[in-house]
Every structure is written in C-alpha cells, then in structure tokens.
C-alpha cells in the first residue's frame, strides 16, 4: 500500500475512534434535514417545527445546493426559524442519528439511519422510464434500499406499493400529509382572505392552472397557447398560475425557462405564484383547477371542486400513482384549444361524490400527519414514549 493510503487509513481510524468516544457521552439525538431548494423547504418545514419542540434532540438543516437559492433567501430562513445549519462538506462525514430527505441525495454516510419523506403527493412520475421514488434513486451503491423508512400519504398508496414494488413494502409507512393538514386545518384561510392577499377580486369566479415540468407537462406542451388565452380568460375569471420550480431555468436541460415569457404578461386579474412557493397555499380560492400529472394538483380533491386534467396519451406513469385516480374523476382534455368551453362543461357536469372518494385515497389520517411522522422518527431512533 502506498504511503498516502496508509496515512488516509490511519486518519480514518483515528477519526472513528474519537467519534466513538464523543458519541458515547452524547445526551441528545442529532437529526439532519436535507434541503435542496426552496420547494423542498416547503415540505420539510412542518416536520422541522414539530421536531424542534422535542428537548431530547437537536435538529439541523443542511442546504446542500446553496447555489440554487436566490441571494439572501437562506440567510432569511435561518433568521426566521432560528435554524441550526451545517454545510454539506462537513455534514457528509458526521454520524447522524437520523437524516431526513424530502428529495433524493446527495450522498451521506451509509451507517446513518435515513428517512425519505418525499416532496408532495405520489403522482407516479417516471424518470428515465423508472419510478422516481421506488427506483434506483432509492438504492445505495450496493443496490440495497437506501432508506430505513419511506413515507407515503395514504394506506391506498401503501397497498399499491405492495402490488407494484414489493421489495420496498417493508419500509413504507402511511403517515398522512403534513401540507394537506395545514391546508384544511392549521393554516386555513378563507377564499376572500387568499384573494385579497394577492389583489384579486373575491367577487369573481377563480380558476387555477398548475403544471409540473418536463416534456409531458401542460406548460411545455400548451404553454404558449395558454399565454395567448390569458387576456380572454382573465376578462372572465381570476386566474392563478402555479408552475413547478424547474420551469424557471434552474436546470436549463429540463425545458424552457418560462420566467422571461411570463414577466412580459401584463394582464389584470392574473396572479403568478413566485417560483418555489407551493401552489397548495392558494387552492382555497380556486373554483376550478386545470392541471396535469403535477403532484400539486393532487391536493385539490380535498376541496371537492372540478378539475380539468390535461393528458398526453403517451405519458407513462408508475403503477403506484394517484394520478391514475385523479384522471378517472376529472374532465380530461388533450389540448387547451377550447379551454373556455371546457371550463363551462367541467363546472356544469361536475359530480362531487367521486372527488370526495378520491380525497380519502390521497391522504389517510386527516389532522394527524405530524403526530404520525414524529412517531415513526422517534421509533426509528429508539425514543418511543420519551417525548
């Protein structure tokens, strides 16, 4: 063995020996929440707020890709929430009691327990023809499941995992939806409050457009047509537009950058949700939703209101997918050429009962998601009943 390898081996053994000594006398559990961008913080925040009240643990946040944030945003979050942070270049080497991932990656030590909480409801997106959640991104370099727990929002989704991805079933737990609980309980605002906050007229009917990203998305396929239709739509309705963060040029390879296009749209009665802000926060105000296979659209059935679903016949989804269910109870279109007429038909032909039944499939344990999240996390760290 070369001298450099001997030195590296010695330093590693010395580090682990010191670490073992320190950990032996540690009194609190250290939990790390991995945050990639502003959108992932949306899903991590409710869990962070629940964990930090526990006196038996220290909660840390690692902003793994700070270059994806706008200047000052991380600093503002740290100040607002009194975050305890650690840089990735240090955090990757530390022995955490638990690491929480709203999204996959990057690499952390194999001997740390890990939980994937996901970012949004399970739409069933495929990336490279493979399941985004139950595919290679959830495996380590040995091909073993990376996570000790993998959270889904409902028992219905968990049963789908058993049918389509049985290897993952033992680590999957149905815990409810933190964001849906906030929408319907904790942070619920009235329709009038939401519309006044964004300077839209509460006396007008409101439609919302929500699109995911990628070649099969509503915005990539029908976006320019929608932009042309906005003046006519906004003459009749309030319009709220919600686009996935990746539609704003963060990774140019993922499609068109819609920011410069939308910046030129100057139409009254239109509100464009800023990049990285969750569309679910504005759904209370919408009388109707136009969407695609976006996970954001899956929150709307909780309000039992009409949905127009844009479908590409060649879109392939995972067997574990709430989008299949959404599509079956929505008014489906293949383009937006007759959108005004489609809106009228979707409103007049709406049957509320199937949408209410879908809401039950989307999220189990209403109002109890934070409780169930914390129970699973504490159990994994051997802290059952110690809160």
Report the CATH number at residue 149.
3.40.50.2000
- 354: burial class by Cβ within 10 Å (0-12, 13-18, 19+)? middle
pLDDT by position in tens, the chain (length 387): 555 555 555 445 554 554 554 445 567 899 999 999 888 998 999 899 989 988 889 999 999 999 888 889 999 999 999 999 999 999 999 999 999 999 998 999 999 999 999 988 999 988 888 999 999 999 999 999 999 999 999 999 999 999 999 999 999 999 999 999 988 875 678 899 999 999 999 999 999 999 999 899 999 999 999 999 999 999 999 999 999 988 998 765 567 899 999 999 999 999 999 988 889 989 999 999 999 999 999 999 999 999 999 999 899 999 999 999 999 999 999 999 999 999 999 999 999 999 999 999 999 999 999 999 999 999 999 886 554
Same domain, 374 and 356: no
Residue 153 lies inside a defined structural domain of this protein: yes
Residue 3 lies inside a defined structural domain of this protein: no
Residue 227 lies inside a defined structural domain of this protein: yes
Residue 385 lies inside a defined structural domain of this protein: no
Q: How far apart are CA 309 and CA 120, in angstroms?
A: 18
Strands 114-116 and 126-127, bridge-based pairing: unpaired
Q: Which of 260, 237, 240 is nearest to 198 (CA)?
A: 240
Q: How far apart are CA 279 and CA 296, in angstroms?
A: 6
What's the pLDDT at 185?
A: 79
What's the pLDDT at 310?
A: 97
Same domain, 282 and 358: yes
Same domain, 358 and 376: no
- CB half-sphere exposure, 74, CA atoms < 13 A: 19
Residue 248 lies inside a defined structural domain of this protein: yes
Same domain, 42 and 24: yes
Q: How far apart are CA 32 and CA 52, in angstroms?
A: 11
Same domain, 51 and 153: yes
Q: How far apart are CA 220 and CA 214, in angstroms?
A: 7
Residue 276 lies inside a defined structural domain of this protein: yes
Please calculate the CA angle 374-168-60 and round it to the nearest 5 degrees: 35
Residue 256 lies inside a defined structural domain of this protein: yes
Q: Do 282 and 239 meet the contact criterion of CB atoms below 8 Å apart?
A: no
Q: Do 137 and 104 meet the contact criterion of CB atoms below 8 Å apart?
A: yes
Task: Record the pTM.
Answer: 0.87
Same domain, 175 and 204: no
| Structural domain boundaries enclosing 110 | 8-180+367-380
Residue 387 lies inside a defined structural domain of this protein: no
Give the number of domains in the chain.
2
Q: Do 122 and 157 meet the contact criterion of CB atoms below 8 Å apart?
A: yes
What's the pLDDT at 6?
A: 53
Q: How far apart are CA 238 and CA 272, in angstroms?
A: 11
What's the pLDDT at 194?
A: 94
Q: What is the DSSP string of 97-142?
A: SEEEESS------TTS-EEE--SSS----EETTEESSSSGGGB-TT
Same domain, 224 and 296: yes
Same domain, 123 and 240: no
Same domain, 211 and 330: yes
Same domain, 14 and 55: yes
Peptide bond into 106 cis (omega under 30): yes
Same domain, 156 and 42: yes
Q: Which of 143, 141, 162, 140 is nearest to 152 (CA)?
A: 162
Please calculate the CA angle 255-219-198 and round it to the nearest 5 degrees: 115
């Amino acid at each position: 063995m070369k001298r450099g390898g001997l030195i590296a081996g010695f330093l590693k053994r010395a580090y682990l020996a010191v670490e073992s000594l320190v950990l032996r006398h540690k009194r609190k559990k250290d939990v790390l929440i991995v945050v990639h961008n502003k959108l992932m913080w949306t899903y991590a925040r409710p869990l962070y707020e629940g964990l930090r009240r526990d006196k038996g643990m220290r909660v840390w946040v690692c902003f793994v890709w700070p270059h994806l944030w706008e200047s000052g945003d991380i600093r503002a979050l740290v100040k607002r929430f009194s975050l305890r942070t650690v840089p990735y270049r240090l955090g990757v080497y530390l022995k955490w009691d638990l690491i929480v991932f709203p999204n996959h990656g990057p690499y952390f030590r194999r001997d740390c327990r890990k939980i994937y909480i996901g970012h949004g409801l399970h739409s069933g997106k495929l990336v490279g023809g493979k399941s985004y959640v139950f595919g290679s991104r959830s495996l380590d370099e040995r091909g073993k499941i990376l996570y000790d727990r993998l959270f889904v929002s409902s028992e219905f989704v968990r049963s789908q995992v058993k049918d389509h991805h049985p290897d993952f079933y033992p680590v999957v737990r149905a815990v409810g939806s933190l964001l849906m609980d906030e929408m319907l309980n904790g942070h619920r605002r009235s329709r009038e409050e939401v519309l006044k906050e964004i300077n839209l007229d509460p006396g007008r009917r409101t439609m919302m457009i929500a699109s995911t990203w990628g070649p099969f998305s509503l915005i990539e396929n029908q976006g320019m047509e929608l932009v042309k239709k906005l003046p006519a739509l906004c003459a009749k309705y309030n319009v709220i537009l919600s686009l996935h963060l990746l539609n704003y040029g963060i990774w140019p390879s993922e499609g068109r950058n819609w920011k410069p296009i939308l910046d030129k749209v100057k139409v009254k009665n239109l509100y464009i949700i800023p990049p990285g802000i969750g569309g679910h926060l504005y759904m209370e105000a919408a009388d109707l939703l136009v969407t695609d296979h976006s996970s954001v659209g899956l929150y709307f059935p909780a309000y039992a209101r009409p949905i127009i679903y844009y479908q590409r016949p060649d879109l392939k989804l995972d067997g574990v997918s709430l989008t299949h269910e959404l599509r079956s109870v929505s008014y489906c279109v293949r383009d937006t050429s007759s959108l005004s007429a489609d809106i009228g038909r979707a409103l007049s032909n709406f049957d509320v009962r199937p949408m209410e039944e879908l809401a039950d499939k989307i999220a189990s344990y209403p109002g109890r998601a934070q409780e169930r999240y914390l129970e699973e996390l504490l159990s994994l760290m051997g802290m059952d009943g110690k809160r």
